[in-house]
């Protein structure tokens, strides 16, 4: 997949629409899973959520919340793992 940049029309649409990520963009790229979940919830009211997600996947965005989903290397992930080694309890069953 080849990375693309947003079209001028997409940029204008984003700039002229009231989107939740415009006020606090760092939340959408947080290292804290609870903050990422908050960003995902805020995307539920965004009129551009689907277009945002499609753009992130086509551009293979390295990470962040896009269109209400956590995206890592252009792939939707259920959740973002914390940094470092996983806890033993994550493997115990």
Binding-site entries for [4Fe-4S] cluster: 21, 43, 46, 52
Residues 6, 63: Cα–Cα separation, whole Å? 17
Give me the sign of the Cα torsion angle 1, 56, 71, 60. positive
Q: Which residues are annotated as a binding site?
A: 21, 43, 46, 52
Q: Which residues pair with 71 in a beta bridge?
A: 64, 76
């Amino acid at each position: 997949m080849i990375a693309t940049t947003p079209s001028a029309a997409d940029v204008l649409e984003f700039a002229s629409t009231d989107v939740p990520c415009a006020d606090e963009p760092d939340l959408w790229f947080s290292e804290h899973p609870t903050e990422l979940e908050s960003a995902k919830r805020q995307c539920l009211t965004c009129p551009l959520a689907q277009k945002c997600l499609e753009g992130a996947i086509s551009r293979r965005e390295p990470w962040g919340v896009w269109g209400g989903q956590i995206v890592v290397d252009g792939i939707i992930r259920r959740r973002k793992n914390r940094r470092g080694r996983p806890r033993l309890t994550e493997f115990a069953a």
